[in-house]
Structure 1
Amino acid sequence: MTTSEAAAGTDPIFAWTAPLGLPDFAAIADADFAPAFSTALKAHEVEIAAIAENPAAADFDNTIVALERAGEKLGRVSALFWNRAGTDTSAEIQSLERDIAPRLSRHYSKIAMNAALFSRVDRLYDQRASLQLTGEQQRLLERIWKSFVKAGARLDADGQARLAAIGERLAGLGAQFGQNVLADESDWMLLLGDGPDLDGLPDHLVEAMAAIASERGHPGQYAVTLSRSIIEPFLAASDRRDLRETAFKAWIARGDGGNTTDNWALIGEIVALRAEKAKLLGYGSYADLKLDDTMAKSPDAVEELLGDVWQRAVARARQEESELAELVAEAGLNHPVAAWDWRYFADKLKARKFDFSESELKPYLSLERMIEAAFDVANRLFGISMTERPDIAGPHPDARVFEVRGDDGTIIAIFIADYFARPSKRSGAWMSALQPQHKLPGPDGGVGQKPIIINVMNFSKPAVGRPALLSFDDARTLFHEFGHAVHGMLSNVIYPSLSGTAVSRDFVELPSQLYEHWLSHPEVLSRHARHYETGAPMPQELLEKVLAARTFNSGFATTEFTASALIDMAWHSGPAAIDDPASFEADNLRALGLPEAIVMRHRSPHFLHVFSGDGYAAGYYSYMWSEVLDADAFAAFEEAGDPFDKATADKLKEHVYAAGGSRDPAELYTAFRGRLPTPEAMLVKKGLAA
């Protein structure tokens, strides 16, 4: 193939000509990505060289704005590739992922260590007080300067070479870590037959398991997989303790099999390299490096919050365990509460205390109704409306495309939703942007670009003709990720590096976790929680029980989360060299006093947040930090006496959802709330207040 033919073959990646400015996803083959990356990397190198070698004196436009404009092609191919790698991977995509991750690391290291380029940025940073910049421009300059420094711009040649090598190696290790977890998840399946194997399982779960088994070539059987939307309800419902044990042990053993997909050695090397990187840059630990530009600022502040919550959570969890043990004894069984028993007996206890179960609730939480609810909340709060476009193809046949209009009727964003689990999709749920919002003039004479936002989830796909029924946790996940999406869709900034979710790690979860509050508000549930067959609203009695049970099992839930957050901090603020990572995890959990019947929400060998990339490394605590913010933020609506109070919603939109990273997060929150928050509202929400 000639160079021109190769370039022509990658055109759909760069020229987004489908309706609404989307790519023609169907025209993009896996084989197109490798040549597209080569084209985009070369184009970006040329753009960077032009900025660095510009003979004119550095100013904000010819250096900082020029950097913002550079790399459009690389941004497009990267967004498309990483979405496909996460949602519909293949052997060819995985091979390229292992190659491109270190290659991209090399590319960005080279930019950060370009002495001529940094000299221009550094000069502007030194002169920033006299440049008459707007607040957003000051924020952008500071963030770009700091990103150069943290990438090694001030190191000597040897230090820069070593830092670049570390970054390249970490990128490859992260890609391998994620692929190992995906392999363990997609390869494992527990096939069940009729009769006793299905004892205790509700009809909707049996239907979902049958659909999965049939899809995987086992019609007439029922498959338990390691997708959270299957494994958790199975563990909560199955009367077969032996099957629960088998499934649970497989679930927590992802990445820990002692075989080719074992991740312990990768963890040891990742932790050591991160510690070395921090030391090169002058930080005491990797946690110090990562927390430098966050609201928390230091590991001590994080550990103070986590430590207080940990003591309260474990005490509550031990009370909960005693209640579960009473149920075990009452059932005439002679065994302690094991990790594979907790969800099962907790479900029984919940049904006894509140006289309802997930099986009773699910018919009122169909996927379509919950999508409708999430959209309605956005409309009532922020005036945006969502219209599905079934005529436009998404990146996968299951993906759905929506146009998003503002309160004036103009299209402000495009939203893509990909809800169902499949073997080629990694587990979990997330939001990403194919294209961020900005207001920079374009080469075609237009100004700015609309955000293209994707939500990805892993709900069980129902049999043909049947609705997808969600658990309350599933519905909460949908609201959480849509909260991230709204953050991206409402973005109203000038510069793409400050757009949408481009905020500090411990602020990014505020818009998503805050959005969850509306799911459990009686006004939203009474309007949208309707029976999938009859359309009847959830009975008032059941609604009241659901609301009364909001803090049930909170000791367990908070303990399993906080254990993961504390271990994340231990990996990144402890010793640089760890000879036996598995023992390190076990020893730290033992020292913390983790109850034997509870396992970390994400054990280290499959802790994708922390080891598949560095996004949440030394940052998993941020979910709880944001809980402090979100509980306090929702209290503003409660104080106003209306969950949709317009004045409060307008301030929330201006200072949180639309502001992106244009100002310091503490400043943004204070502008919305009038003050910084305290943890009390969060502890009350969790039922852990003294």
Structure 2
Amino acid sequence: MNTANPLMQAWTGPHGLPTFADIAAAHFQPAFEAALAEHRAEIDAIAAQPEPPSFANTLAAFDASGRQLTRLQHLFYTLGASATSPELQAQQRVMAGPLAAHDSAVYMHQGLFQRVDALFEQRHTLGLTAESLRLLERVHLDFVRAGARLAPAARERYAAVMAQLAELTTRFAQNVLAAESGYQLRLATEAELAGLPGFVRAAARQAARDRGLGDGVHVITLSRSLIVPFLSFSARRDLREQAWRAWVGRGDDTGATDNRALCAQILALRAEQAALHGHACYADFALEDTMARRQDAVMDLLQRVWQPALAAHAREREAVLGAMAAAGATHALQAWDWRFYAEQARRARFELDEAEVKPYFALDRMVAAMFDCASRLFGLQFKPRPDIAGYHADVRAYEVLNADGTLRGLFLQDNFARPTKRSGAWMNALRNQSRALGAKPVILNNNNFAKGGAGEPTLLSFDDVRTLFHEFGHGLHGLLSDVEHERLAGTQVLRDFVELPSQLYEHWMAEPAVLKQFARHWQTDEPLPDALLAKLQAARQFGQGYETLRYTASAIVDMAAHALPEAPADVVGFERDTLARWGLPAEVGMNHRMTHFQHLFSSAGYAAGYYVYLWAEVLDCDAFDAFVEAGDVFEPAVAARLRECIYAAGNSVEPGAAFRAFRGRDPVVEPMLKDRGLLQATA
């Protein structure tokens, strides 16, 4: 063991964490080389056993293999997303190909696959438990989808394609980060700050400090929690246009962060990957292992919300045009105008001002609210551990305890935007739960909230609170996991099921009882007034046409691009033409344009799968109705069933069966349409 490399020593920090302060980027490559060699030896040993294959000596042994590699990968990807550096990014580029090549070598290992395949053929005669049978079926499918059944020449080409994809997606992600972290809109005068409420100014001052620009300077970055309020409140139309163009133009340029060619290359390689499996396009290959299964099922769902959303947006547009007329604006409505005048329309219609609302949503209070809901639903306790050092000073650690005080796992939370952190919000595991391995989960939530000013709390918008609860829903999926085998743990479920636990948990953040208890003014400690709560509830569906179109447009472009047998030569033109065919209003735009669509191009995780948020929304709205029907959003019996069937089960149960076990039937779409305020648009 290399005693000079902390990654190659025992990790002796609390809960098996490494000592982050001792880790340098240069430590990763030698640690990976050792871990890859160790895993290859383990795989060879499993395959070379003289004994006939059994569940224990093949499946369980495979699930337990590669522990050193797994922990390194979790750490590597965590730091690369949350606390990167030029040195670490160089390591990511160096290791992308070898790590992909190793995955291909493992899942194309013919000796190992023969043992797994033999067990799969006998699976119904082996007397396996339901979870063991599920593990066998999932692992066998992992091998097949990784190319284990291909002819030798095709396997060789397939491995090369996967290595190229790993390198290209790494470059794509790094380009997006560079485009985002490199942008600063400096506001130097009061005229340039016109219209911005105090919370936006405070966040812009803090963003300037974080970038070493000193006091008295205000900077707008491309962090969603900063640019969306800027677009909503700035009275300077010229500056709104500048910021908007920078936001939507990430990756669509001719400079070092140009992602247009990378998108086309990635799409071309995915089309080839699908063709090697005998599929006409990548969408067919990706959907094969989902709840939806087929393109027409996905498109049917997208169609069902598109027309109602267009109708809802048309009504919203009239309100926005009315706000423009009231303000004396004579220019045409443009995309950089929408949020500004929509805020004016919302303020006029509902007498609701976000600047009035935000002081009631301090981050620390909302974290306490999400913990309290988990305690009331699942009996969990959260013990702060300020002595546990994370990879950055912003990271907060909590021991998670069961109702009886026994340890459930460790939860880490990293809430603030910074230049070394990718955009968006996500959950990942530093360690997955497994009874067989004796592993307690270590779960991390990342958000990108704009940090409050010095001496002031971080104040969240209602959407920020929803994001906080959403990611913690994923976190609970990892923390409550209770399975035997690591491959089936936590969020390792089908992609269009993984958003159910997260989106379902969002419902509690808007519950009046939760808001009345935790939404308190950060200066006066006054609870959220009933009148203001009523305004929030009344305004909740305003703007849903606009937001639904933005999301659905992104899902449509994703599916259209991955449904092609060959990549388009001009991805920007393809995006534009696709949206024109669907009739997307020009002022709406997309959640994510292709050139910065990290869900699709930073990995294959959501490729031909961005629809899953809407698919899961059908599930989550129907699931929450079980609590509504029970008359108590914390009903103990319903919560116990939810924990057992959804949060604890991981991938040990087929997702459709898991939902039916909880709800007693298959899901229906009407609760989702009602929740978005789109039912009236279908009448």
Scaled by the length of structure 2, the TM-score of the pair is 0.98
SS at match of 1:197: coil
8 Å CA contact 2:3–2:9 kept in 1: the answer is: no
| 1-structure distance, mates of 2:123, 2:29 | 40
Per the alignment, residue 648 of structure 1 pairs with: 638
User: Where does residue 32 of structure 1 map in the other structure?
Assistant: 27
| Alignment correspondent of 2:372 | 376
Within a 5 Å distance, the mapping from 1:400-415 to structure 2 comes to 400-415=396-411
Residue number in structure 2 paired with 1:676: 666
Question: Are 2:342 and 1:346 equivalent residues in the alignment?
Answer: yes
Question: Is structure 2 residue 351 aligned with structure 1 residue 355?
Answer: yes
**Which residue number in structure 2 is paired with residue 242 of structure 1?**
238
Alpha carbons of 1:554 and 1:15: their partners in 2 closer, same or farther (altered >3 Å)? same
Q: Give the secondary structure class of the aligned counterpart of 1:433.
A: strand
For residues 513-566 of structure 1, the C-alpha deviation after alignment (integer angstroms, 9 at most, x for no partner) is: 000000001011011100111111000100111111111100000000000001
Q: Please tell me whether residue 313 in structure 1 is matched to residue 309 in structure 2.
A: yes
Residues 210 and 418 in structure 2, CA contact (< 8 A), matched pair in contact too: no
Taking the aligned partners of 2:310 and 2:36, their CA distance within structure 1 comes to: 50
In structure 2, which of residues 595, 605, 608 is the aligned counterpart of residue 618 of structure 1?
A: 608
Amino acid at match of 2:305: V
What letter is aligned with 1:176?
Answer: R
Q: Match for 2:441 among 442, 451, 475?
A: 451
1:155 aligns with 2:154: no
Partner of 1:331: 327
TM-score (norm 1): 0.97
Q: Give the aligned CA root-mean-square deviation in angstroms.
A: 1.0
Q: How far apart in 1 are the matches of 2:431 and 2:104?
A: 23
Displacement of 1:401: 0.6
> Once the 2 structures are TM-superposed, how far is the Cα of residue 22 of structure 1 from its aligned partner?
2.2
- 1:137 maps to which of 113, 132, 135: 132
Deviation of 1:207 (Å)? 1.0
What's the CA shift for 1:12? 4.3
1:489-504 to structure 2, matched below 5 A, reads 489-504=479-494
Matches for 1:230-629 after TM superposition, within 5 Å: 230-441=226-437, 448-629=438-619
Deviations 1:577-613 (A, max 9, x none): 3121111111101111110101100010000001110
How far, CA to CA, are the matches of 1:323 and 1:468 in structure 2? Answer: 31
> SS of the residue aligned with 1:588?
helix
The Cα shift of 1:575 comes to 3.6
State which drifts further: 679-688 or 201-210: 201-210
Kindly state the Cα deviation for residue 11 of structure 1 after the two structures are TM-superposed.
3.4
Distance in 2 of aligned mates of 1:479 and 1:16: 31
Which of 42, 63, 74 is the matching residue for 2:69?
A: 74
Are 1:118 and 2:102 matched, yes or no?
A: no
1:530–1:538 CA contact under 8 A, matched in 2:
yes
The letter for the 1-side match of 2:345 is L
Tell me which amino acid in the other structure corresponds to 1:590: A
User: Deviation string for 1:143-190 (max 9, x for gaps)?
Assistant: 110111111111111100110010000000100000000000000100
- Is the partner of 1:398 in helix, strand or coil? coil
Separation (CA, whole Å) in 2 of partners of 1:361 and 1:268 = 43
SS in 1 for 2:192: helix
2:161 corresponds to 1:171 = no
Aligned 8 A contact 1:321 1:337 in 2: no
Q: What is the alpha-carbon distance in structure 1 between the residues aligned to residue 647 and residue 339 of structure 2?
A: 35
Q: For 1:603-643, what per-residue CA distance to the aligned partner results, in whole angstroms no more than 9, with x for missing partners? A: 10000001110000011100000000000000000000000
- State the distance in 1 between where 2:203 and 2:8 align: 35
Distance 2:456 2:328 in 1: 38
User: Which amino acid is the alignment partner of residue 121 of structure 2?
Assistant: D
1:367-419 Cα offsets, whole Å, 9 max, x none, are 00000000000000000010110011112111011000001111111000000
- Indicate how the Cα distance of structure 1 residues 352 and 169 shifts in structure 2: closer, same or farther if over 3 A, else same: same
* d(CA) in 2 for partners of 1:214, 1:408: 44
Separation in structure 2 between the aligned mates of residue 501 and residue 327 of structure 1, nearest angstrom:
44
Q: 2:186 aligns with which of 182, 191, 208?
A: 191
Query: How many Å separate the matches in 1 of 2:375 and 2:340?
Result: 38
Task: Report the alpha carbon displacement of residue 352 of structure 1 after superposing the two structures with TM.
Answer: 1.0
Which residue identity does 1:378 align to in structure 2?
Answer: A
Assess if the C-alpha contact under 8 Å between 1:9 and 1:32 holds in 2: no
In 1, Cα distance between equivalents of 2:76 and 2:529: 46
Q: Distance in 2 between matches of 1:581 and 1:307?
A: 23
SS of match in other structure, 1:195? coil
Within 5 Å, which residues of 2 pair with 1:53-64?
Answer: 53-64=48-59
Number of residues paired by the alignment?
Answer: 679
1:637 lines up with 2:633 in the alignment: no
Could you tell me how far apart the structure 2 residues matched to 1:475 and 1:14 are? 39
Mapped partners of 2:532, 2:591: distance in 1: 29
Post-superposition shift, 1:330?
A: 2.2
Determine the structure 2 residue equivalent to 1:206.
Answer: 201
How much identity, in percent, do the aligned residues show?
A: 50
Q: Is the 8 A contact 2:7 2:31 kept in 1?
A: no
Which SS does the other structure have where 1:401 is aligned?
Answer: strand
Q: Deviations over 1:200-236 (max 9, x none)?
A: 1011110111121123232221101000010000000
Cα separation, 2, equivalents of 1:318 and 1:603: 23
CA distance in structure 1 between the partners assigned to 2:584 and 2:633 by the alignment: 37
- 8 Å contact from structure 1 (residues 194, 221) kept in 2: no
Tell me the SS of whatever aligns to 2:444: strand
CA–CA distance in structure 1, aligned partners of residues 100 and 378 of structure 2: 38
Deviations 1:469-527 (A, max 9, x none): 00111110000000000010000000000000010000000000000000001011011
Q: Does structure 1 conserve the Cα–Cα contact (< 8 Å) formed by 2:432 and 2:440?
A: yes
SS at match of 2:436: strand
Counterpart AA for 2:492: A
Deviations 1:75-112 (A, max 9, x none): 11111111110011111111111121221110010111
1:628/1:21 CA distance change after superposition, 3 Å: same
Aligned to 2:676: 686
Letter in 1 for 2:218: Y
Tell me the equivalent position of 1:444: none
| C-alpha contact (below 8 Å) 2:383/2:400 kept by paired residues | yes
Q: Specify the code of the residue in structure 2 equivalent to 1:153.
A: A
Please identify, of 129-138 and 572-581, the stretch whose mean Cα deviation from structure 2 is larger. 572-581
Q: Report how far residue 14 of structure 1 moved.
A: 5.1
